[in-house]
Amino acid sequence: MVKSMDEVVKTVFQEAERLQDEVTTLCSELVKVPSVNPLGVTNDVVEYIHSYFDDIDLPCEVLEREAGKSNLCIRLQGEKAGKILWLGHLDVVPAGDLSLWHADPFGGDLIGDRVYGRGTSDMKGACASAMVATKILSRMTPDHRCTVEFWFTCDEETGAENGVKWLSETGRLRGDVCLIGDSSCDLPHHPTIDVGCKGYLHMALKASGVTAHGSQPFLGDNAIDKLITAANSAKRVEELRLDVPASLEPVIRSTLDDLKRAIHLRPDQLAKLKRIFHYPTASLNMIEGGVKINVVPDHAEAELDVRVTLGIALDAVKNRLVALVKNSGVTDVEVAFTRSQGGYYEDPNSPAMTKFIKAVEIATKVPPTLKLLSGGTDAVHLKANVDIPCLGFGVGVQGMAHVSNEYTTVENLVSGTKVYAIFPLLYSVDGSP
């Protein structure tokens, strides 16, 4: 007897809820397998995922550009027209100051309804949900779904050189729509879909000076002093009002409303949040200089992370940054842009978006809010090489990425499993039901 779509969706719900303990355990176990970037080695965590699929007789492929930096793909062939790519990264940022954690950052502890640990929100939790969604979909007949490839990748946190950037440049990532698991929301009560993200410029400053004894600094030329002056001047790029496309304004408003709801902000933080899409942000995140406490430094380096709303020409922002450093009044400071990438924005009325909005609403019983990301995801690397819609939906908790005591919730994990399994049932490029 052929099942109706409603019956198939009901089966997904039942299976996702039945496998709640499994997806929770998977999230915890993934956290326990080291994949901190840098170094960004993912072969051990890929081996763990491979063994999970081996146990349920699902073949997968491992690809590497650099030894130890593994990517894994599992493909489920469907009979409906079209192919979905699901992308999720396995590398995580360092834990930082361990004294700020109340749980082992690599312990994957389940405390109440929360799984704690580095990568739970960004984004091993979503990888766990995708693994269980793959299991659920594999047990259904192919006539109910389109083809879907689940990709578990490396190097997202450091530019995706051995991950999505390489995979897309070499033609391995091909499909009709991409679902990015690197996102956060409060599930199932406040689901959100990422329809775009900001672009970025990574700016490097190198200051040269003259060394001298620390007791007679006037005999030298302090490179750190010069660097700080130049960096502070560069940060004035945050005063540059951006000509944001009018079509983005409704999504910007919904994005800001969602962030204000999810994160408690001080008045000064709220004021800065309101500017986050209409002005660049510039964060001085790396600085190095000096050789000894009593030696005037003759060399110092810094790196700024500059984020720019999509639709804005990056060259204009680059030119402003260079001019600001030049006008800072210091000499012997070199400026270089080590990496840059424009943002992107998807049409909220496209067929792929319409289907995905429906999938999220079915899974959560709540209409999703559309939002923009202030940061970036692997979507920017994919879209540089593959012209397909990229929609973001993850199981991270808002505000938890890269922070101490990072966590996700069991409810998020289960809801994410439902969404990832339902979308291939609803999507087809020929519009078939």
Q: Average of pLDDT values for 165-183?
A: 97
How does DSSP assign 178-207, residue by residue?
EEE---B-BTTTB-EEEEEE-EEEEEEEEE
Look up the pTM and report it: 0.89
pLDDT, residue 1, reads: 55
Q: Average of pLDDT values for 191-210?
A: 96
Which residues make Cβ contacts (< 8 Å) with residue 327, sequence separation at least 6? 233
In this model, does residue 370 exceed pLDDT 60?
yes
Domains in the chain, please, with CATH? 5-197+343-426 (3.40.630.10), 199-242+279-341 (3.30.70.360)
pLDDT, residue 83, reads: 98
Q: Is 315 left (phi over 0), alpha (psi -120 to 50) or beta?
A: alpha
pLDDT in tens, 219-251: 999 999 999 999 999 999 999 999 888 888 999
pLDDT in tens, 12-54: 999 999 999 999 999 999 999 999 999 999 999 999 999 999 9
Bond preceding residue 105 cis, omega within 30 of 0: no
**Cα–Cα distance measured from residue 237 to residue 321, given in angstroms and rounded to the nearest whole number:** 6
Q: Average of pLDDT values for 328-344?
A: 94
**Cα–Cα distance measured from residue 246 to residue 259, given in angstroms and rounded to the nearest whole number:** 21
Given a contact cutoff of 8 angstroms between Cβ atoms, the answer to whether 288 and 301 are in contact is yes
| Least confident range of 24-38, 119-133, 258-272, 405-419 | 258-272
Q: Is 57 left (phi over 0), alpha (psi -120 to 50) or beta?
A: left
pLDDT in tens, 43-54: 999 999 999 999
**Cα–Cα distance measured from residue 123 to residue 112, given in angstroms and rounded to the nearest whole number:** 20
pLDDT, residue 213, reads: 98
Q: Average of pLDDT values for 360-379?
A: 94
**Cα–Cα distance measured from residue 71 to residue 164, given in angstroms and rounded to the nearest whole number:** 9
Smallest CA-to-CA distance from 307 within 196, 393, 224 is with 196
CA-CA distances (angstroms) from residue 56 to 23, 51, 86? 15, 9, 20
- Within 10 angstroms of residue 110's Cβ, the number of other Cβ atoms is 18
Given a contact cutoff of 8 angstroms between Cβ atoms, the answer to whether 83 and 77 are in contact is no
